[in-house]
């Protein structure tokens, strides 16, 4: 099967339930984790930059249950039952963007975000930084579009059109910018 059209996720996959300190509590289907107000589960978000310091953004597939067609950070997902974060992030990069890269863990936080009748996010999310090649061939079953932007252009667009972006992307970037500026500045130019 063509790597750019593979189905790589399912509402049946088992995610890792955690407490607010990220201690493992058990497992539940992806669907059940996102029903109603959501059940706290482990997740990750990746912010990837090319050699010119531009951030890779993805527009989520229209088939996504939560925030379809919204712009978001480079890659985000969940470790599955039995997966370490290292294995999960490597798998998801291959699944969505068809490449691998070294990642630097920056921080973890808990958040919730409601998407009305479709469900909600309730996640203990680990945030990473890394590099991406400028030429990518994303899996269109997961990603509708990609683009690279400067940090300044990204911030300007989020300020003018916040409704175009996922809530976690906006929140994580704000944290990276304010609390982890030194680590972020190793990947991109900040004004």
Percentage of the chain lying above the pLDDT 90 cut: 92
Confidence of residue 181 (pLDDT cuts 50, 70, 90): very high
Mean per-residue pLDDT, 122-138: 96
Q: Which of 123, 142, 172, 188 is catalytic?
A: 123
Q: How far apart are CA 74 and CA 48, in angstroms?
A: 6
Q: How far apart are CA 167 and CA 66, in angstroms?
A: 11
Residue 24: active-site member: no
Can you give the pLDDT at residue 7? 59
Domain ranges within the chain, ordered by starting residue = 14-185
Can you give the pLDDT at residue 119? 96
Can you give the pLDDT at residue 6? 63
pLDDT, tens digit, 9 for 90 and up, residues 57-84: 999 999 999 999 999 999 999 999 999 9
Confidence of residue 187 (pLDDT cuts 50, 70, 90): very high
Can you give the pLDDT at residue 191? 82
Q: Is the pLDDT of residue 162 over 60?
A: yes
Q: Which of 76, 125, 169, 188 is catalytic?
A: 76
Confidence of residue 4 (pLDDT cuts 50, 70, 90): low
Residue 123: active-site member: yes
Mean per-residue pLDDT, 178-189: 97
Question: What tokens were used for 169?
Answer: 């992307």
Q: Between residues 10 and 25, which one has the greater pLDDT?
A: 25
Can you give the pLDDT at residue 3? 57
Closest by CA to 71, choosing from 2, 173, 184, is 173
Q: How far apart are CA 70 and CA 60, in angstroms?
A: 6
Q: How far apart are CA 37 and CA 75, in angstroms?
A: 23
Q: Is the pLDDT of residue 10 over 90?
A: no
From the candidate CATH numbers 3.40.710.10, 1.20.1260.10, 3.40.50.300, 3.90.79.10, the one assigned to the domain spanning 14-185? 3.90.79.10
Mean per-residue pLDDT, 173-188: 97
Q: Is the pLDDT of residue 1 over 60?
A: no
Confidence of residue 104 (pLDDT cuts 50, 70, 90): very high
Following DSSP, what letter does each residue of the chain receive, concatenated? --TTS-----TTSEEEEE-TT--EEEEEEHHHHHSTT---EEEEEEEEE-TTSPEEEEEEPTT-SSSTT-EE-SEEE-PBTT--HHHHHHHHHHHHHS----EEEEEEEEEEEE-GGG-EEEEEEEEEEEE--SS----TTTEEEEEEE-HHHHHHHHHH-GGGB-HHHHHHHHHHHHHSHHHHHTTS---
């Amino acid at each position: 099967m063509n790597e750019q059209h593979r189905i790589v996720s399912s509402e049946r996959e088992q995610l890792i339930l955690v407490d607010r300190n990220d201690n493992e509590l058990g497992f539940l289907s992806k669907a059940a984790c996102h029903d109603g107000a959501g059940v706290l589960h482990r997740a990750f978000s990746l912010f990837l930059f090319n050699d010119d310091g531009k951030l890779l953004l993805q527009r989520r597939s229209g088939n996504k249950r939560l925030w379809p067609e919204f712009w978001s950070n480079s890659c985000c997902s969940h470790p599955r039952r039995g997966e370490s974060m290292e294995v999960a992030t490597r798998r998801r990069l291959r699944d969505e963007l068809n490449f691998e890269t070294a990642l630097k863990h920056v921080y973890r936080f808990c958040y919730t975000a409601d998407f009305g009748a479709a469900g909600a996010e309730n996640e203990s999310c680990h945030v990473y930084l890394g590099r991406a090649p400028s030429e990518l061939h994303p899996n269109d079953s997961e990603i509708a579009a990609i683009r690279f932007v400067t940090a300044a252009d990204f911030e300007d667009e989020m300020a003018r059109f916040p409704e175009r972006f996922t809530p976690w992307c906006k929140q994580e970037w704000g944290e990276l910018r304010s609390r982890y500026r030194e680590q972020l500045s190793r990947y991109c130019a900040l004004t």
